[in-house]
Chains A and B, each alone.
Chain A
Amino acid sequence: MPLTIPREEYMQQGHTACAGCGATLSMRYVLKGMGPKSAVVVPASCWSVIPGELPYTSLKVPLLYTPFASAGAAISGLREGLDAQGKQDYNVIAFAGDGGTADIGLQGLSAAVERGHNVLYVMYDNEAYMNTGIQRSGSTPYGAWTTTTPVGSKRDYKRENKKFVADLMMAQNAPYVATAAIGFPEDLERKLSVAKSIKGPKFIQILSPCPPGWNYNSADTVRVSRLAVESRIFPLYEFRNGKLTLFKPSKTVPVSQYLYLQGRFSHLYDSEVKVIESAVEERWQSLLRKEQV
């Protein structure tokens, strides 16, 4: 049987991610797509503990840890350093979580895109600060339970909407912006090969479900990510040369099907699910309008 994604593994066994981790699959696919001539920069996030403690490492490519806010600055410096040594064929990748991208690292990312370095910034979006114990981030969606937006006798679930960093990068007119989901690895590999062919700052946001943080059975990781796309709550799109291309799933499912699978949304009443449904539809329509411009 021909394989649909590259066979080579640059992420090795024995890492310390939870069972069913979506972020690990993201890294596996990104390194498969980018190849052995890559250097990965990881700010504080789940991925700063997954590769293992010294002297262990689970990646076959060089890995650089940076403070929380500096992934954008570190990839800029690494790129310029490699270029000065004449190593233009190396790919420089930042692999940051949503806290390190949407909240703490946003200025570093925005500045790196503005300066126009030839780098790839991957945001693996697990929609909260999972490594430190599921605290709410700017990327947490409306209605979600986290440890800082708890739901008990007082229903203090998150009342603010998700910040879509890919939309921000589109507004900044980055040469290549894409969203992807681990449930569609072939689509992600294609987007990575497009990103590889473009010189300049690239940004890819990958939805990476988290079994303990989203409170679902670890066997459902890929299913949840696929449902997120089919229910349009996480639309897949590509932005290149100022043109937006939206992926329209052939099969659509109600948003409630995605929400009910996860414990973090189990407190929502039907009326609140309706609010989410209408917000999802509104965003979908606005993306459709942007596509036609």
Chain B
Amino acid sequence: MPILPITYVSTSTREMSSWRTSKPIIEYSKCTRCAICWKFCPDVAIDLVSDPSIKSPNEKFSSLEAPLINLNYCKGCGICATECPFGAIEMVREEI
């Protein structure tokens, strides 16, 4: 049997933002970087980034990795907003 090349394209090359009816907005001044939103995101749309310029409740937290929502992939399910123990994520209705 001849060996055939199998190509594949990662689904991360396409956008899912059109599925969304509301989007999560993180209020970083309340965010303690616990990464619970990252842990429970079914769309893997939350990245953890080291950026000391992102706001934080106080100095201690600014050196930790902050969650950053990638709105290309977020489908707006709202799990992050429900699970955030500090109420730092709010779901805002998308404008058309």
In whole angstroms, how far apart are the Cα atoms of A180 and B43 in the complex? 20
Q: With A1-B34, A217-B78, A222-B79 as given contacts, are A21 and B42 in contact (CB-CB < 8 Å)?
A: yes
Instruction: Name B1-46 residues within 8 Å CB distance of A.
Output: 7-16, 19-20, 33-35, 38-40, 42-45
Chain B residues positioned under 8 Å from A58 (CB to CB) = 10-12
Q: With A11-B44, A25-B42, A185-B39 as given contacts, are A221 and B77 in contact (CB-CB < 8 Å)?
A: yes
User: Are B35 and A56 in contact, with the CB atoms below 8 A?
Assistant: no
User: Are A28 and B11 in contact, with the CB atoms below 8 A?
Assistant: no
Chain B residues positioned under 8 Å from A18 (CB to CB) = 75
Shortest Cβ gap from A11 to chain B (Å): 6
In whole angstroms, how far apart are the Cα atoms of A219 and B42 in the complex? 11
Q: With A14-B10, A19-B19, A219-B82 as given contacts, are A3 and B42 in contact (CB-CB < 8 Å)?
A: no
User: Are A4 and B16 in contact, with the CB atoms below 8 A?
Assistant: no
User: Are B10 and A1 in contact, with the CB atoms below 8 A?
Assistant: no
Q: With A14-B15, A57-B8, A222-B83 as given contacts, are A4 and B44 in contact (CB-CB < 8 Å)?
A: no
Chain B residues positioned under 8 Å from A218 (CB to CB) = 77-79
Shortest Cβ gap from A114 to chain B (Å): 33
Shortest Cβ gap from B30 to chain A (Å): 15
User: Are A19 and B75 in contact, with the CB atoms below 8 A?
Assistant: yes
**Does A108 interact with chain B (Cβ within 8 Å)?**
no
User: Are A51 and B78 in contact, with the CB atoms below 8 A?
Assistant: no
Chain B residues positioned under 8 Å from A55 (CB to CB) = 7-9
Chain B residues positioned under 8 Å from A167 (CB to CB) = none
Shortest Cβ gap from A21 to chain B (Å): 5
**Does A9 interact with chain B (Cβ within 8 Å)?**
yes
In whole angstroms, how far apart are the Cα atoms of A279 and B7 in the complex? 51
Q: B interface, by DSSP: helix, strand, loop or mixed?
A: loop
Contact of A19 among B7, B15, B33, B77 (CB under 8 A): B77
Which size bracket describes the interface of A in this complex? 35 or more
Q: A interface, by DSSP: helix, strand, loop or mixed?
A: loop
Chain A residues positioned under 8 Å from B33 (CB to CB) = 1
**Does A175 interact with chain B (Cβ within 8 Å)?**
no
In whole angstroms, how far apart are the Cα atoms of A239 and B75 in the complex? 37
Chain A residues positioned under 8 Å from B11 (CB to CB) = 12-16, 51-52, 56-58
In whole angstroms, how far apart are the Cα atoms of A11 and B10 in the complex? 10
In whole angstroms, how far apart are the Cα atoms of A88 and B39 in the complex? 31
User: Are B64 and A20 in contact, with the CB atoms below 8 A?
Assistant: no
Closest residue of chain A to B40 (Cβ to Cβ) is: A222
Contact of B43 among A3, A13, A52, A219 (CB under 8 A): A13
User: Are B78 and A219 in contact, with the CB atoms below 8 A?
Assistant: yes
Chain B residues positioned under 8 Å from A103 (CB to CB) = none
Closest residue of chain B to A60 (Cβ to Cβ) is: B10
**Does A43 interact with chain B (Cβ within 8 Å)?**
no
User: Are B44 and A9 in contact, with the CB atoms below 8 A?
Assistant: yes
Shortest Cβ gap from B80 to chain A (Å): 9
Instruction: Name A206-225 residues within 8 Å CB distance of B.
Output: 211, 217-223
Chain B residues positioned under 8 Å from A57 (CB to CB) = 8-11
In whole angstroms, how far apart are the Cα atoms of A220 and B33 in the complex? 21
Given A12-B12, A211-B77; 4 other pairs, CB 8 A cutoff: A1-B33, A14-B10, A14-B12, A219-B79
Q: List 7 A-B contacts (CB under 8 A).
A: A7-B48, A17-B43, A19-B19, A20-B77, A51-B11, A55-B8, A217-B78
Cβ-closest 8 pairs across A and B: A219-B78, A20-B77, A14-B11, A19-B77, A19-B75, A13-B73, A58-B11, A218-B77
